[in-house]
Amino acid sequence: MSFTFIDLFAGIGGFHAALKKFGGNAVFVSEIDRAAKIVYENNWIKDDLIISGDIKPLTEGDAVLVPKHNVLTGGFPCQPFSKSGNQKGVNEARGTLFFNILKVIESKKPELVLLENVRNLVGPKHISDYKKMVKLLRQLGYVVSAEPTIISPHEIPEKFGGTPQHRERVFIGAIKMDTINSKLYDNLGPLIERKPFSEIGEWDLQDFLDRKLLTSKNIRETKSLNKSQLQALAAWNEFLKTYRKINRQNLPGFPLWSEFWQQRSNFVISRSTPAWKKIFIENNNTFYTANKKWINDWKKEYEFESFIPSYKKFEWQARDEKDIYKCLIQFRPSGIRVKNPSYVPAFVALTQTPILGWKKRPLNISEAKLLQGFPDTFNFGDQNDTASFKQIGNAVHVGVASLVFQALVKRAIRIRQPWALSLDTSEFSLGDVPLGDDGALF
């Protein structure tokens, strides 16, 4: 049996890609960003009757102008609730986009709800908002875990759609039951426990990308590094090799700030300087004193003083790697950071697009979409890469969404929800999905 779903705050269709392969058929899509909407339409669906913009006017009138559906998905923006908090039911969330989601749920009563948000939703600042969301969903008769599901693509095996990207996100999964039955399951654990696959090892980013792009017909190259960037990398690579040769050990873990590579008597540390920064400054001065002779020669050879300030700072996070060009690199305002080539950071800071050392160029959009779980056939048309990277950064990771959706269906089956019991799960991998509390409660 196929099922229908709606995709709210849809972006470029991460949830669509996840649910389509399980038999999902989109009957309504809402996305306010025009550029993202065009990309969504070009890749997933071209029926203007079910693609809308702002969800607010469709849900704040007398009627909710959204069709009936089995599953509601949404990567909604996080908005804090009002401090007044004296309202009852759905209206308690009024003024937030979560209110609009609740209005759809209250009116259309979907069988399953799957929402995604940033990790900070369950951080100290917003945890009370998260708890209120759970309470309001339960008031509508849904089974919802009080414990959040927090998961990142790099914590999932490739067979489940995992990719080498560190991107922690929170998922809220809700199952429609009658109000009495829903209260029986208030103590359920998260849909998926933290780090659910004990067997997962360290990723090899280069191998992953090489395999995925081996037969790709949709590769969009990106420009190479500029002359000053290449010069800075060559200098720091020689610095790394010289340090290892002389000291027979890895570079220190603290960031290297060359502005303090001078006689200690030449600078004063202000009393207002934070304690952690004072330690870094003193460590840098001690480091320089111990390596002064060869550092001075190195600086002269590579015309180090001509570098821009951010290129004069260096942070080594690549452990035993012996060559910068085998690593992942970021040109940050705080300096050049070099990381072990196991996974990329989350695609959110476009000014810090990771550099693939072995390619001597930034990660391109073809690689980014694969790391976000989108199929090779997905395309951005003639849109510029800056806009495409922004959309990738805002997208729901397809592999993670697929795994969590399967866990939600599995839980619905375990608590004997009639709709889930009638669902055709032949395309699912429910037997291998690590459902939270599986052994304890079922």
Burial-class residue 214 by CB neighbours within 10 Å (0-12, 13-18, 19+). Answer: exposed
Is residue 321 within 8 Å of residue 205, measured between CB atoms? no
Is residue 149 within 8 Å of residue 436, measured between CB atoms? yes
Extended beta strands in 168-306, E state: 169-176, 256-257
Long-range contact set of residues 81-86: C-beta below 8 Å, sequence gap at least 24? 81/128, 81/129, 81/132, 85/132
The angle subtended at Cα 76 by Cα 72 and Cα 78, nearest 5°, is 145
Residue 176 pairs with which residues in a beta bridge? Answer: 142
Distance between CA atoms of 328 and 362, rounded to whole angstroms? 10
Q: Which of 38, 64, 78, 200 is catalytic?
A: 78
Distance between CA atoms of 185 and 189, rounded to whole angstroms? 9
Active-site annotation holds for 327 = no
DSSP, residue by residue, 136-171: HHHHTTEEE-SSPEEE-GGGS-GGGT--SEE--EEE
The residues assigned a catalytic role are 78
